Chains A and B, each alone.
Chain A
């Protein structure tokens, strides 16, 4: 609850929260200056997971860099893959076939649900609601099975390619996804009964870590954290990319911008994502998955191994110094990742490797705004606020 300053005693204590603390969900650190139990000053420190992803982008070619994007927001790697290849494709001025666009939307929305589920489980666990954690991880596991069958990996999916995806959906994918969606909506109702009107959950999250819409914009918050303040901004609606203009969905918004509203917004977003997934499955077009341009798209494996043309095309796309060559220029492409605006700014000098790749991660801005939400509150709220923001160290530090 806010208003901890009234209990100030005048004795100061400095508490280092993290970088290895169970509630930080990764390596980040907050230095808290406390007076009794109230937080006078909070200083977030980033950089513990800095891996030089932007520097790596200047040395890996465009297709190689996809594996690096897996490791940014490691809760929803498919969204990162999507955002990155979209930026490169827009730079190349190409559009992938409809079926590919639909598959990408399907995967991005499934990963949004997976991301929100992990957030839900861990945020609830931090505040002592253990059973929610079990329920949400049970559902998330089903999603990860679908990801594993589709992409071959649970975490490091690397599903997209410049000009397409790694492979088409497996036979029976539609049934698996439909079954997941119908079960999931029931499971989410269970979670609602566990948390939404739960006295303890409401006491711990309502009015905690509140931020106004104006401040949220000034701090650069995006995604559920911005929408919880009442700003109905969603890049999928504002600047529809891929085929998002062909599906209908609502943009849930909150009113108070506190941890409870962020919870409600994320819960509703999962329902909306399920709606998008159903529409995508209903209208999934037939046809080729990959762009038919041998200079850009990787040939499929049977061609690469079985035909000389396929082998040559594979060689040309993969080998250093050949590769996918983008025109000289720069481009910024933003996508709505589960956490908010994930942007890739690519500067190209006309070669097969980017001259500069800049990643605009949503978590960087959320973590920066943390003192604004913590100062003047209680130390126990730190965990609730940090949990509600879903700061992912992988994309925070890159």
Chain B
């Protein structure tokens, strides 16, 4: 049993080693769960870290799988861990080269809901960031066209926040299709 543990410790994933070497200041936490490396990054450095992961020839996390967010306001354990940051932005990356995944998480406080946009790195980030803005109200700084994507433009509130009720706030009765801008 102990031997197994030692072997595991020795084979630290390359991505963690390289991140510790080049971006040690940005890392808030790191973990490996079910074969995926998870790193928590300070939001000021998220662009630099993602750019590094994408462009480093040994890592080559060239594929942006997903961007989303989690509202941790009802999960005490997560909140405490990251200084009561309400939202966690989650980036999923994939490397064609090593066929492995990495998850980058970024805590965001409610009083400053802005995160740098990564649309300059991946074209596909455009709609993902729009959806995260639509559903959680996260502002992606530097996004070329940040507005709602799934909900109507005149919709108020952000539906995937935990304080938004499942059945809505009566929007269905108030929908006015004449007013909508195209």
Chain A residues within CB distance 8 Å of chain B: 16, 31, 46-47, 50, 52, 54-56, 58-59, 90-91, 93, 215, 217-220, 231, 233, 238-239, 328-332, 334, 341, 343, 345, 347, 349, 355-356, 358, 360, 364-365, 368-369, 372, 397-398
Contact = CB atoms under 8 A, between A and B. Distances in A.
Contacts of B66: 332, 343, 345, 358, 360
Interface in B27-62: 33-34, 36, 38, 62
Contact of B127 (A54, A59, A91, A364): A364
Contact of A218 (B103, B122, B131): B122
A55 B159 contact: yes
Interface string B125-155: 0111001000100000000000011111000
B124 A360 contact: no
A238 B159 CA distance: 35
B150 A46 contact: yes
A220 B124 contact: yes
B104 to A, nearest CB: 12
B23 interface: no
A115 to B, nearest CB: 21
B124 A59 contact: no
Given A47-B152, A215-B123, A341-B65, 16 more contacts: A46-B150, A47-B151, A52-B159, A55-B159, A55-B166, A93-B34, A220-B65, A220-B122, A220-B124, A328-B77, A332-B66, A343-B92, A355-B74, A355-B75, A364-B127, A398-B150
B123 A345 contact: no
Interface string B99-126: 1010100000000000000000011101
Most chain A Cβ neighbours within 10 Å, of B38, B126, B148, B149: B149
Contacts of B150: 46-47, 50, 397-398
B122 A332 contact: no
B15 interface: no
A341 B94 CA distance: 12
B19 interface: no
Nearest to A347: B70
Contacts of B36: 331-332
A397 B131 CA distance: 10
B79 to A, nearest CB: 11
A372 B124 CA distance: 11
A42 B90 CA distance: 30
Contacts of B151: 47, 50
Contacts of A47: 148-152
A355 B160 CA distance: 11
Given A239-B99, A345-B66, A219 B124 contact: yes
B123 A360 contact: no
Given A343-B92, A368-B124, A332 B101 contact: yes
A397 B148 CA distance: 12
B98 to A, nearest CB: 10
B18 to A, nearest CB: 21
A46 B149 contact: yes
B68 A345 contact: yes
Query: Top 4 closest A-B pairs, CB basis?
Result: A220-B124, A47-B150, A50-B150, A358-B68
A355 to B, nearest CB: 6
A220 B166 contact: no
Given A59-B166, A328-B77, A355-B70, A219 B123 contact: yes
A347 B90 CA distance: 11
A215 B62 CA distance: 11
A45 to B, nearest CB: 8
B99 A238 contact: yes
Nearest to B153: A47
A345 B75 contact: no
22 contacts: A16-B182, A46-B150, A47-B149, A47-B150, A47-B152, A52-B159, A55-B160, A220-B65, A220-B128, A238-B99, A239-B99, A330-B33, A331-B33, A331-B36, A332-B66, A332-B92, A345-B66, A355-B70, A356-B70, A356-B71, A364-B127, A372-B123
